[in-house]
Amino acid sequence: MNRAEKLSQALKRNEEKEIQKKSIREIMLEAIKDSVITPDELKQIVEICNNSNLTPDEIYFLRLEIFQAAVDIAIEDKRVTEEEETALYHIHSALQLPEDIFDEVELRVTKYRNLYELERGNLLYFSVENHTLNMRENCHWVADVTLMKEKTLNPALDYSDAMTIKKGLKYRVGSSKGNLMTETDFVPVSTGLLYVTNQRMIFSGEGKSFDIPYNKLVDIGLYSDGMKFSVSNVKKPYIFKSLEEEDTEAVGILLSNVANGLL
């Protein structure tokens, strides 16, 4: 067999493998549509894999791909129900994947699961490290955050109320009415945990800790990537960058419950 024939056969085998991969992928995706792989579906998947020309590694990565697809379906709405969580355990088991594969997605699945329960008025309870809670105080959420501070960058004139230099009009010192404005940026101060209780928020960071009692809150700003709290006895607001958008949502739900006397 010459070199050209060997190359032709190798290309043909690769083409056959791609066709087989596509077929197996379609069968697996169809199987997880209802979030349950039945014994008959599993048998069909095993048979088609055994009869294929795919290597064990190629089949493994296909199973991994399908499990990730199942996870994506479950967390698409950023909420995970008890049924969806159970289904993921089942699919993971049916695909015979290692435990550490589930461990990699468990934190996110658990957070969406907790948020789902919180939205339905089912309070969650977390332990608070290195801090003593008051009597009848419970922690209902823990978020990874970074405490930020505003940093002045480039000073700039606000020309909306400034004197405009026109032809024939000479500028005189002191004649400008512009206000000196600043462009600001946020720089990290300390990374830590934000505990949200029924009485206050507690920030426990690297070398810096403080609490924010709810009766001292003056203004609240919640954003997709952070939170801003103005406190009556503090000159500057506390600004936290959230590592995950779900944490901001959870804080918003809990603060709304506080405002309505539900905590």
CATH of the domain at 194: 2.30.29.30
210 lies in some domain = yes
133 lies in some domain = no
Q: Looking at the 3D structure of the chain, how many domains does it have? A: 2
Contact between residue 72 and residue 34 where contact means Cβ atoms under 8 Å apart: no
- Based on the fold, state whether residues 49 and 93 are members of the same structural domain: yes
Contact between residue 101 and residue 67 where contact means Cβ atoms under 8 Å apart: yes
The pLDDT assigned to 171 comes to 36
User: What is the domain range of residue 186?
Assistant: 139-259
- Based on the fold, state whether residues 113 and 158 are members of the same structural domain: no
Mean per-residue pLDDT for 131-135? 89
87 lies in some domain = yes
- Based on the fold, state whether residues 149 and 78 are members of the same structural domain: no
> pLDDT of 218-251, one tens digit each?
999 888 888 999 999 888 899 999 888 889 999 9
The size of the chain, in residues, is: 263
1 lies in some domain = no
Cα-based distances in Å from 3 to 6, 10, 12, 16, 126:
5, 11, 14, 20, 66
d(CA 221, CA 217): 11
> pLDDT of 192-203, one tens digit each?
999 999 999 999
238 lies in some domain = yes
- Based on the fold, state whether residues 241 and 180 are members of the same structural domain: yes
Q: Any idea which of 42-56, 122-136, 162-176 has the lowest mean pLDDT?
A: 162-176
- Based on the fold, state whether residues 111 and 165 are members of the same structural domain: no
Q: What is the mean pLDDT of the chain?
A: 83
